Amino acid sequence: MLNLQAALPQDAPPFFLTICLVSLFVLLAELLTRRFSVSALVVRKIVHLSMGMLIFFVPGYFQSNFYPALAALLLLLFSALNIRFKWFLSLLALPDDDKTHAPAVKSYGSLLFPLVFLLQLLFLWESHKWILQTSMLVMGVSDSLAALVGSSVGKKHIEHLTKNPKTVEGSLTMFFSAFVLLSASLFVFSHYFTGSLANAPMVMLVALALLLALVATAVEALLSHGLDNFFIPVSIAYVLYLLQMNQPVFLERFLLGGFFAFLLAFFSIKVKFLTNSGATATFLLGTTIFGIGGMAWTVPLLTFYLLSSVLSKLGRKRKAKFDLVFEKGSQRDAGQVYANGGIAWVLMIAYSLNNDPAIFFAYLGTLAAVQADTWATEIGTLWPNPKAWLVTTFKEVPVGTSGGVSVPGTSGAFLGSLLICASALAINVQWLSDFGWLQSLLLIGFSGLLASMVDSFFGATVQAQYFDPIREKVTERTHSLAPNGTMISNRLIKGTPLVNNDLVNTFCALSGSALAYLVIRSVHLF
């Protein structure tokens, strides 16, 4: 943390030198953009790269984190004002920054860069400076090179990934440059290693650099709006911190978990369970769950993923009539992965930092919730001639209507929840034995069932529903495709435009985890 009494006098000269260097970078960038018509993207990424390299050497010039934190805070304030008033356009994303002619996406990268640097200064300076240096160097250099290569020579675009256009050439540049930098850093800083990293064979450190480079590339490919500036260093620092502290993750398990997550993502694309964005998000989620949580956390997640994916593929002909009603199809994208697995992801990270067993019950609760919701929808639409009722009024509605419930769907929801808990019981998770097998089944089963009812309630009340004028149907989709190939905007007839199916699924996942966690806390088991 920041020590106000540690503002050493000898740190003042390098502080003022740093401020002068950064100011020089900014002024030179603006001069090149305005007077010499140099591409704003090129200039911005060169500044980005230079800042990453400058930060790498900060611990060598400062004795305490006071002045570096002050510099980061000043840069953060300047970036926020620049985004608001647009003083220095060279630091902002412009519509002509790439050659794809895609609509410009507002970026907050210049704001998130100093923010993540400030946070790492506060939490890593005392004993983990090398982690700060490594993570910021990869973000500053590799991310910049990826953007420069992708915009200049990138020709093959990756479809169904993110709003910002990504190219194969840019992603490969990100991967290889990150791998080189991570390998070099792990070699140079090896004398600082403790925990799982201490005395690790060189081949395993190279494998770690390979996996972290893949993680950084996936984060860069998946995120837009400049969010990669924040999450690339955070993801690298998080993994290295856990390995350094040796709790609860071990290097061998993390490497195997990452490898398995990569195979699962690759398989999911091949069998069309997931889109490119969905597979990328699944790789990141899987690497965290499999690599850090081990079997106890992996088996329930795989139970949800495999059973729900297979179930979504069954009865295609029978469910085809609902394809234009639901917002998305059976091939899940990143948004659906976040909605279904995002809460589980956060819980895994929370557990890795404090080892609270009650979080595991919350984890099972959130997986039971999303399994219950998925099974209720899939079985409800798959069942022959089902009847559905709106959960708020109990009036009969067409099957597939947001907020509609049916007997087959509700039964399937409860069964799906039980299977999540049964998968954990099958591998003898000790925490469930301590609570009791029957009690665990009932807790997780009803957590999932009640959460699916929460999903139905929000679906009936606040989820956006539209009228499709072409097919004259109520739908979750904002646009419909006309016979002549043009996209027609559907008319909002109910709910809030910002509340889509992914957000409702997130509410469902959150309610399932909260219920299970509160019950475990109330019995004071742990």
Confidence of residue 248 (pLDDT cuts 50, 70, 90): low
Per-residue tokens: 523? 């019995």
Query: Domain for residue 25, yes or no?
Result: no
- Tell me the average pLDDT across 243-264: 87
3-state secondary structure 244-294: HHCCCCCHHHHHHHHHHHHHHHHHHHHCCCECHHHHHHHHHHHHHHHHHHC
108 has a pLDDT exceeding 50: yes
Instruction: Tell me how many domains the chain contains.
Output: 1
Q: What is the pLDDT of residue 482?
A: 77
Query: Domain for residue 308, yes or no?
Result: yes
Query: Domain for residue 155, yes or no?
Result: no
Query: Domain for residue 271, yes or no?
Result: no
Q: What is the pLDDT of residue 367?
A: 97
162 or 183, higher pLDDT:
183
98 or 304, higher pLDDT:
304
Q: Tell me how far apart the alpha carbons of residues 334 and 282 are, in angstroms, rounded to a whole number.
A: 8
3-state secondary structure of 120: helix
DSSP count for the chain of H helices, then E strands: 20, 8
Q: What is the pLDDT of residue 141?
A: 96
pLDDT digits (tens, 9 = 90+) for 273-287: 889 999 999 999 999
Cis, peptide link before residue 13, omega less than 30° from 0: no
Query: Domain for residue 364, yes or no?
Result: yes
pLDDT digits (tens, 9 = 90+) for 109-147: 889 999 999 999 999 998 899 999 999 999 999 999 999
pLDDT digits (tens, 9 = 90+) for 347-361: 999 999 988 999 999
Query: Domain for residue 485, yes or no?
Result: no
Query: Domain for residue 73, yes or no?
Result: no
Q: What is the pLDDT of residue 324?
A: 44
- Tell me the average pLDDT across 70-91: 91
Backbone angles phi, psi at 497, to 5 degrees: -55, -35
Q: Which residues pair with residue 492 across a beta bridge?
A: 466
Query: Domain for residue 379, yes or no?
Result: yes
Confidence of residue 315 (pLDDT cuts 50, 70, 90): low
Q: Tell me how far apart the alpha carbons of residues 343 and 279 are, in angstroms, rounded to a whole number.
A: 18
Supply the mean pLDDT for the chain.
87
Residue 307, domain extent: 295-463+499-526
219 or 390, higher pLDDT:
219
Residue 414, H or E segment: helix 407-426
Q: Tell me how far apart the alpha carbons of residues 149 and 70 are, in angstroms, rounded to a whole number.
A: 33
258 has a pLDDT exceeding 50: yes
Q: Tell me how far apart the alpha carbons of residues 172 and 150 are, in angstroms, rounded to a whole number.
A: 9
- Tell me the average pLDDT across 287-304: 95
Q: Tell me how far apart the alpha carbons of residues 88 and 30 are, in angstroms, rounded to a whole number.
A: 6
3-state secondary structure of 165: coil
Which residues have CB under 8 Å from 271's CB, separation 6+? none
Confidence of residue 58 (pLDDT cuts 50, 70, 90): very high
Query: Which letter does DSSP use for residue 193 in this model?
Result: -
Q: What is the pLDDT of residue 342?
A: 95
- Tell me the average pLDDT across 197-225: 94
Of residues 22, 117, 19, the one with CA closest to residue 65? 117
Q: Which residues pair with residue 396 across a beta bridge?
A: 389
Range name among 66-80, 316-330, 504-518 with the lowest pLDDT average: 316-330
pLDDT digits (tens, 9 = 90+) for 492-525: 888 888 888 889 999 999 999 999 999 999 987 7
- Tell me the average pLDDT across 80-109: 68
Question: Among the ranges 288-302, 373-387, 488-502, which has the highest mean pLDDT value?
Answer: 288-302
Q: What is the pLDDT of residue 246?
A: 66
